[in-house]
Amino acid sequence: MLHGHHGELTVGEMLRRHGISRRSFIKFCTAAASAMALPPSVGLAMAEQLRQAPRPSVVYLSFQECTGCLESLTRSFAPTIENLIFNIISLDYDDTLMAAAGEAAESARTKAMQDNFGKYVLIVDGSVPTGAGGAYCTAGGRSAVDTLREAAKGAAAIVCVGTCSSFGGIPFADPNPTGAWPVTAIVGDKPIINVSGCPPIPEVITGTLLQLVATGKVPDLDEHRRPKVFFGNTIHDRCYRRPFYDQGKFAKSFDDEGARNGWCLYELGCKGPTTYNACATLKWNGGTSFPIESGHGCLGCSEPGFWDLRRPVRGRVGQGRRSFTTPGFGGDCNRRGGRRRDRRRIRRRQPPATTPQRAAWHRP
């Protein structure tokens, strides 16, 4: 499905040009595979596929977001961001990372899209605000929604990086003042891969791109279009505190004996049992730690409905705090049916009328 960048070299040719030996590239691929918790044999196979793979043109668009996703991506250990953008892909437009600005940047994007029409990978981070005619997020005098529609036309595939572009994320949370939507609500006729997380784990972003380039195909996805290899298990499935959960040993406050003994954080609001992501295996900062290991429960940031359906942060879902169902944030999740009403209310939201793909967006 993926084709090479206009007049570009394959990944193997690019590596040769940079003086990177076959041996060290295999080492790199097996390290990347192990960072993805995959066996070394997968790394070997990936190295062979990647060497022959065309180096695709990538256009990276950022909309309504906090730039946490790109911050995360730049901290990828395997592959590193340099390796990714110099050897594996051709990053032709990214307004945050690129040196060019203004018209030079705009024309770089237009040129990349024209030269590689039908072949480039479009990465999107941030949700797409549709309120006020798209005025909440504009660049170069154009709204995010127009820029997305135009860029999607010539894309071979779209990778949504972060929960905002995948499911709407924080901007989509009630009362959603900007009319924010995920990419799937705007574009319905392209292969879309959701790499959710607020932000996503850096190696999950780079690993998904590596797989996409190596195989030229969209990887196996779950029902929310997330790559199964990273989102196939809940945090709870792989959590090192799981034995305490099974024994019924729960910390009741952040400084009680249970917390000091490393007991399960479920009663302090951990959303690990219903959150699919790779934090418990890949961890963060090159495998140093992850929130639960640092003493705080999982927020469930990679799931549809984050933030609204994942509150309260430090209490079990459905316990205490407020529901957003009543104007002025009244209401209480403890009241019977509060959570169900929240879910119904999100589901009732209709994407912009011009969207022919209403059914495509991922309702929580």
User: Binding residues for ligand FSX, per CB under 6 A?
Assistant: 65-69, 125-126, 162-164, 169-170, 198-199
Q: Nearest distance from residue 103's CB to ligand FSX, in Å?
A: 25
Nearer to ligand FSX, 30 or 163 (CB): 163
> Tell me, what amino acid is at 3?
H
Nearer to ligand FSX by Cβ, of 143 and 196: the residue is 196
Pick 67 or 350: Cβ nearer ligand FSX: 67
Q: Which residue is nearest to ligand FSX (CB)?
A: 68
User: Do 318 and 342 touch, CB atoms closer than 8 A?
Assistant: no
Report the nearest approach of ligand FSX to the CB of residue 220 (Å): 23
Closer by beta carbon to ligand FSX, 69 or else 235 = 69
Peptide bond before 291: cis, by omega within 30 degrees of 0? no
User: Is the Cβ of residue 125 or residue 303 nearer to ligand FSX in the bound state?
Assistant: 125
Residue 88: CB minimum distance to ligand FSX, A? 21
Measured from the CB of residue 269, what is the shortest distance to ligand FSX in angstroms?
19
Q: Is 70 exposed, middle or buried (0-12, 13-18, 19+ CB in 10 A)?
A: buried
Detail the DSSP E strand segments found in 10-135: 57-62, 90-94, 120-125, 128-129
Burial 110-119 (b: 16+ CB within 10 A, else e): eebbebbeeb
Complex with ligand FSX: residue 170 or 264, whichever CB lies closer: 170
| CA angle, residues 234, 311, 182, in degrees to nearest 5 | 70
CB of 69 to ligand FSX, least distance (A): 3
Q: How far is the CB of 20 from ligand FSX (least distance, A)?
A: 30
CB 186 within 8 A of CB 145: yes
Separation of alpha carbons 361 and 364, rounded Å = 9
CB 117, min distance to ligand FSX, A = 26
In angstroms, give the least distance from the CB of 167 to ligand FSX: 9
Q: One-letter amino acid identity for 59?
A: V
Q: Which is nearer to ligand FSX, 29 or 148 (CB)?
A: 148
Separation of first and last alpha carbons in the chain: 30
Tell me the DSSP string of 303-318.
STTTTGGG--TTS-TT
What is the closest distance, in whole angstroms, from the C-beta atom of residue 30 to ligand FSX in the complex?
Answer: 30
Burial code (b: 16+ CB inside 10 Å, e: under 16) for 176-215 equals bebbbbbbbbbbbebebbbbbbbbbbbbbbbbbbbbbbbb
Q: Which is nearer to ligand FSX, 173 or 214 (CB)?
A: 173
- Of 79 and 126, nearer to ligand FSX (C-beta) is 126
Three-state secondary-structure class, residue 220: coil
The Cβ-side half-sphere exposure at 269, using a 13 Å CA radius, reads 19
Report how many helices (DSSP H) and strands (DSSP E) the chain contains, helices first.
16, 11
